[in-house]
């Protein structure tokens, strides 16, 4: 389990992480989403003790990371697959890890097999690895100590479709066996498929968090009536946000019973009233982070 | 493993995918990482990269060439001490580069992310680097002694008449000098945390410092701060005078102590990205 409480990280005047709190539960995959520069990687580095927090706490398995006994045996960390010495072989990278952790070298071969790197590939130097191979190596390195928690920053980056599927299965199995997975990604469709819980961060602040079902559940309703203008006025008078749809009808930020009762009180006949369409993760992401996005979207 | 209980505790857990299991580690309780293991890892990291390996191979070749030249000059008729110098000088000049790389590769190749994730107490990692660098220096002394002996034995075969002249002071001095040189490399690497900057500074220093001796009022301070000068008496085979020890101490404090302090401070505080 990972717990982050009121975490703040400042660089001079700039606040990279601003009062972030969330929990990644054991047995579940938690997706960590946010636009570039939103503070995802900084948060993950603070969690693993690589960046000091200005205030607030982050604990892994109930303990600050730096105070874990032999942390690699508890937590698998992959923050940047490219952060490996280009002149070492993949096998050597894992052998050094195994040596530090104090585990048998056979584990190196096991993990190579788990991540699908062949013996031949493992003897090549990391400089000759593709990004996908580096990700696999990084994941092997993270899994080396048989950890209970995985902290992965953009692990699907550079993987081919088969690799992405393989990783999904791997992380699913890991969580199903009781492990905690926290992964960040820009691949929203991947997060949508793999994550049980989602935390969205924008400009250093948490803008949404909850289970995937909660977050993706449609909110609001769509309504058409014989006189949309009067209905809009009636809804706005009740303090409800309304926007007119281009094809006619209104998109209303209230649940259907409320919209129905307001229309009834106003004496307006409805021609259509239904819950809003289920929004995809992409839409939710863009809506939640639109204030923070680097470029305005056409929509 | 308490997998089953954990599964019960989290009923919403995703269903296990059939046919795939992560191998677990059996019968290996989680214990703290002992310092000796960190030293072993750091020592291995100094020689397991492509650059590190080629560096050692080329250094070996340089020494072989130096010894061969020795054997052809004056029919190889030199004392053991001279052979030691022939092997030791290239080592003393170039081996500190491995010390520099030990510190800088963590940042230039960004392996610090892995290193400090596995051992968050960075002071221990730096201490392990110091220990492994000293071990490297001592290893170099052993190699020097062996190669010097091989050279001198070959000289004997060619009828060398100069006595071997094995001298305890000289071997002790050589050991101290080699250790100081590799430590200076590591200290420079830690202070700069950048391979090119550290290497340039390391090699420019003994080239530029002697310029001081040209200025009359700097000539005396120069004798106290040029490490090349202050370590030279170590290999003469004679005990150092009190003043020589003093000069050595001052130059060591300046070129090893100061950069080491700056370097440790930087590594402990620097954000790992």
Does residue A66 sit in the same domain as residue A95?
yes
More confident residue, A56 or B164: A56
- Reading chain B (273 residues) residue by residue, the pLDDT tens digits are 444 444 343 334 344 444 567 888 887 889 999 999 999 999 999 989 888 889 888 988 998 899 889 888 888 888 888 888 888 888 888 889 999 999 999 999 999 999 999 999 999 999 999 999 999 899 989 988 998 898 888 888 888 888 888 778 888 998 999 999 999 999 999 999 999 999 999 999 888 888 888 888 888 888 898 898 899 888 887 888 999 999 999 999 999 999 999 999 999 999 998
B 152-191 residues with CB below 8 A of A? none
Classify residue A296: in a domain, yes or no: no
Residue of B nearest to A97 (CA): B118
CB-based contact A101 B118, cutoff 8 Å: yes
Residue of B nearest to A99 (CA): B41
Does residue A144 sit in the same domain as residue A63?
yes
Running DSSP on this structure, what letter comes out for residue A37? T
Angstrom distance (rounded) from CA A82 to CA A70? 24
CB-based contact A27 B13, cutoff 8 Å: yes
DSSP string, B222-239: HHHH-HHHHHGGGGTTSP
A 120-149 residues with CB below 8 A of B? 125, 141, 143, 145-146
Measured between CB atoms, does B49 come within 8 Å of chain A? yes
- What count of other Cβ atoms lies within 10 Å of the Cβ of residue A97? 24
Classify residue A16: in a domain, yes or no: yes
Minimal CA–CA distance to A103: which of B196, B95, B44, B27?
B27
CA distance B233 to chain A (A): 39
CATH number of the domain that residue A200 is part of:
3.40.50.300
Q: pLDDT, tens digit, for every residue of A214-243? A: 887 777 888 999 888 899 999 999 888 888
Does residue A24 sit in the same domain as residue A118?
yes
Distance set, CA B51 to CA A240, B47, B62, B101, B201 (Å): 67, 8, 16, 9, 20
Classify residue A40: in a domain, yes or no: yes
Tally C-beta pairs within 8 A across A and B.
Answer: 158
Does residue A121 sit in the same domain as residue A230?
no
CB-based contact A146 B118, cutoff 8 Å: no
Sign (positive or negative) of CA dihedral A116, A118, A123, A126: negative
Measured between CB atoms, does B28 come within 8 Å of chain A? yes
Domain end marker among A173, A197, A213: A213
Minimal CA–CA distance to A182: which of A22, A56, A49?
A22
Identify the residue whose tokens are 């056979």.
A106
End-to-end CA distance of chain A: 38
Running DSSP on this structure, what letter comes out for residue B271? P
Owning domain of residue A254: 221-275
Angstrom distance (rounded) from CA A117 to CA B253? 49
Domain end marker among A167, A184, A213: A213
Angstrom distance (rounded) from CA A200 to CA A73? 28
Angstrom distance (rounded) from CA A79 to CA A105? 24
Angstrom distance (rounded) from CA A258 to CA B229? 90
Does residue A17 sit in the same domain as residue A148?
yes
pTM: 0.84
Distance set, CA A257 to CA A215, A218, A230, A278, B165 (Å): 21, 15, 18, 18, 104
Residue B66: alpha-carbon gap to chain centroid: 21
CB-based contact B30 A74, cutoff 8 Å: yes
Classify residue A280: in a domain, yes or no: no
Q: Any bridge partners for residue A270, and if so which?
A: A225
CB-based contact A169 B30, cutoff 8 Å: no
| pLDDT at B125 (0 to 100) | 96
Measured between CB atoms, does B22 come within 8 Å of chain A? yes
Count how many domains chain A has. 2
Please give the helix or strand (H or E) that residue A94 lies within, else none.
helix A90-101
Please, what's the b/e burial string for A242-276 (b: 16 or more CB within 10 A of its CB; e: otherwise)? Answer: beeeeeebbebebebeebeebbeebebeeeebeeb
Angstrom distance (rounded) from CA A1 to CA A61? 5
Measured between CB atoms, does A174 come within 8 Å of chain B? yes
Domain boundaries, chain B: 34-265
Angstrom distance (rounded) from CA B59 to CA B179? 17
Query: Cα–Cα–Cα angle for A250, A255, A258, nearest 5°?
Result: 90
Q: Any bridge partners for residue A125, and if so which?
A: A89
Measured between CB atoms, does B44 come within 8 Å of chain A? yes
Does residue A167 sit in the same domain as residue A66?
yes
Does residue A66 sit in the same domain as residue A122?
yes
CATH number of the domain that residue A251 is part of:
3.30.70
């Amino acid at each position: 389990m990972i717990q982050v409480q009121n975490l703040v990280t400042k660089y001079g005047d700039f606040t990279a992480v601003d009062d972030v709190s969330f929990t990644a539960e054991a047995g579940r995959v938690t997706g960590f989403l946010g636009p570039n520069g939103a503070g995802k990687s900084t948060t993950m580095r603070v969690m693993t003790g690589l960046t000091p927090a200005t205030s607030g706490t982050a604990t892994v398995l109930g303990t600050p990371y730096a105070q874990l006994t032999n942390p690699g045996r508890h937590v698998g960390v992959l923050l940047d697959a490219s952060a490996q010495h280009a002149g070492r072989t993949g096998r050597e990278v894992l052998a050094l890890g195994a040596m530090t952790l104090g585990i048998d070298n056979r584990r190196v071969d096991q993990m190579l097999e788990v991540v699908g790197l062949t013996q031949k590939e493992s003897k090549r130097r990391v400089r000759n690895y593709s990004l996908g191979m580096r990700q696999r190596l990084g994941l092997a390195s993270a899994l080396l100590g048989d950890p209970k928690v995985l902290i992965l920053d953009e692990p699907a980056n550079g993987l081919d479709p088969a690799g992405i599927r393989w990783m999904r299965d791997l992380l699913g199995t890991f969580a199903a066996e009781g492990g905690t997975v926290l992964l960040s990604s820009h691949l929203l469709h991947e997060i949508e498929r793999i994550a049980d819980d989602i935390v969205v961060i924008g400009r250093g602040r948490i803008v949404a968090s909850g289970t995937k079902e909660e977050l993706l559940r449609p909110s609001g309703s769509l309504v058409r009536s014989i006189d949309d203008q009067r209905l809009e006025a009636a809804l706005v008078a009740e303090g409800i946000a309304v926007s007119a749809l281009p094809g006619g009808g209104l998109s209303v930020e209230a649940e259907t019973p409320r919209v129905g009762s307001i229309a009834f009180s106003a004496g307006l006949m409805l021609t259509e009233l239904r819950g809003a369409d289920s929004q995809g993760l992409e839409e939710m992401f863009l809506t939640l982070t639109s204030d923070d996005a680097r470029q305005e979207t056409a929509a | 493993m308490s997998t089953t209980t954990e599964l019960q505790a989290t009923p919403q857990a995703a269903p296990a995918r059939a046919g795939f299991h992560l191998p677990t580690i059996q019968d290996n309780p989680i214990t703290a990482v002992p310092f000796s293991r960190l030293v072993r890892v750091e020592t291995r990291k100094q020689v397991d990269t492509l650059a590190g390996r080629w560096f050692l191979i080329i250094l070996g070749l340089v020494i072989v060439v130096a010894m061969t030249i020795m054997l052809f000059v004056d029919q190889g008729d030199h004392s053991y001490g001279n052979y030691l110098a022939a092997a030791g000088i290239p080592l003393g000049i170039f081996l500190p580069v491995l010390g520099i790389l030990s510190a800088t590769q963590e940042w230039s190749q960004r392996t610090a992310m892995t290193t400090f994730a596995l051992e968050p107490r960075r002071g221990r990692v730096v201490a392990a680097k110091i220990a492994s660098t000293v071990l490297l220096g001592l290893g170099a002394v052993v190699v020097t002694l062996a190669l010097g002996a091989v050279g001198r034995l070959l000289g004997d075969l060619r009828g060398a008449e100069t006595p071997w002249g094995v001298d305890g002071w000289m071997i002790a001095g050589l050991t101290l000098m080699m250790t100081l040189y590799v430590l200076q490399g590591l200290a420079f690497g830690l202070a700069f945390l950048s391979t090119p900057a550290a290497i340039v500074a390391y090699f420019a220093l003994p080239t530029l410092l002697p310029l001081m001796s040209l200025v009359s009022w700097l000539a005396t301070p120069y004798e106290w701060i040029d490490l090349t000068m202050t370590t030279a008496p170590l290999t003469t085979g004679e005990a150092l005078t009190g003043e020589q020890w003093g000069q050595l101490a001052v130059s060591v404090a300046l070129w090893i102590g100061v950069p080491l302090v700056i370097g440790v401070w930087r590594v402990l505080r620097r954000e790992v990205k």
